[in-house]
Structure 1
Amino acid sequence: MKGRLTEAKDKLVVLAFLPSYCAHSYMMIPEVQQLAKTYAKTTSFLRIKEEHDDIYEIFGIHTVPTFIFMQNKKKLLVRTGASVKQLSDTLEAVLNGDYTSTTTTTQAPSSYIISITSPQHLNETMSRAGNQLVILAFMTKWCSKCKKIAPKIEAMADEYYGSVMFLKIDDDVKTKELYTKYNIQRVPTFVFVRNSKKINQYEGTWYEKIRTRIELQDFLNF
C-alpha cells in the first residue's frame, strides 16, 4: 500500500475498507468500483480487504464500511456508512476543494447503541432516523441473558453503523411505558421499526437471527 500511495503523488487516494464479511460493505463493492472507473483520472481507490488486519489496526478502523481520503500521504477526512451518494458527494467536494479537514471529518461515535431515557427521547431519536431501519433493543441490567448478548449487539451495531440504528431501552421508571406500548413480555426482545412502524420482532439470544432479520428485512415483514 505504501508503494501505491507514493505512486499517486498529489492524486487523491481513497482507502476503501470493505471486508467481505460485512454485508453492507460487500454490497457496496460494485458501486465503489463504478465510482473508481468514473473518477479514474483524478482518484485512485484502494480496497482494503479483511485479511489486511494490520492496516485496519494502523488506521484505527472499528466500523465498516469506512473510506479514508488521502493526498500526498496525508489523511484529509474520513467517511463511514453505506451511503454511495454520501461517498460520491464527499468525493466531489474534496476534488473541488470544498471541505475543511478539521470540520468535515466524520468519526464513528464511541458507542454505537443509543440508550433511550424516555418515550419523548425515543420519538425524537426515531424522527431523525428517516427511512433507516431502527432496532429497539429491550435489555435490562438485571437480565443475565441480556448481559450475555450485549457484546454481540454492540459489535453488530458497530458493523451496521450508518445503515441501522440500534436503540437500547432498559426497564426503569421513565421507560416502563415503552415496555407496555410494545407489549414486551420478556427480555431480551428486539423490535424492528421503519418509519415508526413495527415490521418484525425477535425474542432471545441467538444474535444470528437478528442478523438474518436485518439482511432479509424487506422479505420478512412482521
Structure 2
Amino acid sequence: MAKIPDTTDDAFQREVLDSDLPVLVDFWATWCGPCRALAPHVEAVAHEFDGKLKVVKLDIDSNPQTPAKYGIRGIPTLLVFKDGELVDKLVGNPGSKKKVAELVEKHTVTG
C-alpha cells in the first residue's frame, strides 16, 4: 500500500480544492498518538477508494494556515472536499476503518 502523500498550505488549493476527485484530508501532527492510531484506517480507505477518492495528509505544525482557515481545533480531524467545497468532517479517531469509509462513501461516485 502506498504512503499517503503530504500536502502543504502552499499546495492546498491545487491538490485539494482544484481536484477533480473528492479529497479526504487527514489533519495530523507527529506527536499525536490518536493520529498515528488512525493512520492505518485512512490508508485502508485510500486503498479501497483508489480512483474514486484522493487522500492527503496535512501536518498542522508545519502548515498552520490551512487548519486555521477551516477551524481545526483538535486532531486528528478528517475533512472531505468535493468540487472545491468542504462537504463533511470527522473529529477524533473513530476507531475503525468502517467509520472512515462511511464518511467518504457518500461523496464518491460508485459503480
Greater relative contact order (Cα < 8 A, sep 6+): 2
> Deviation of residue 127 (structure 1)?
5.4
Aligned to 1:216: 106
The RMSD of aligned alpha carbons is 1.8
Q: What is the TM-score of this pair, normalised by structure 2?
A: 0.84
Distance, in Å, in 2 between the alignment partners of 1:186 and 1:127 is 22
Distance 1:191 1:127, change over 3 A: closer
Distance, in Å, in 2 between the alignment partners of 1:157 and 1:190 is 13
CA contact (8 A) 2:19 2:84 kept: no
Aligned to 2:32: 143
Pairing partner for 2:50 from 137, 141, 161: 161
Segments of structure 1 that go 5 or more residues without pairing to the other structure are: 1-61, 63-109
Map 1:195-206; keep pairs closer than 5 Å.
195-206=83-94
Aligned to 1:193: 81
Q: What is the TM-score of this pair, normalised by structure 1?
A: 0.44
Structure 2 letter corresponding to 1:187: I
How many residue pairs get matched? 106
Structure with the larger helix share: 1
> Deviation of residue 177 (structure 1)?
0.7
Residue identity (%): 23
Aligned to 1:66: none
CA contact (8 A) 2:29 2:59 kept: yes
Aligned to 1:54: none
> Deviation of residue 158 (structure 1)?
1.4
Distance, in Å, in 2 between the alignment partners of 1:114 and 1:128 is 16
> Deviation of residue 115 (structure 1)?
0.3
Map 1:162-181; keep pairs closer than 5 Å.
162-173=51-62, 175-181=63-69
Structure 2 letter corresponding to 1:114: P
SS in 2 for 1:180: helix
Distance, in Å, in 2 between the alignment partners of 1:202 and 1:127 is 18
> Deviation of residue 121 (structure 1)?
1.1
Distance, in Å, in 2 between the alignment partners of 1:161 and 1:154 is 10
Q: Deviations over 1:118-177 (max 9, x none)?
A: 3221112125521x110111011111101111111112111111111111001224x101
Greater alpha carbon shift after TM alignment, 156-165 vs 207-216:
207-216
Segments of structure 2 that go 5 or more residues without pairing to the other structure are: none
SS in 1 for 2:50: coil
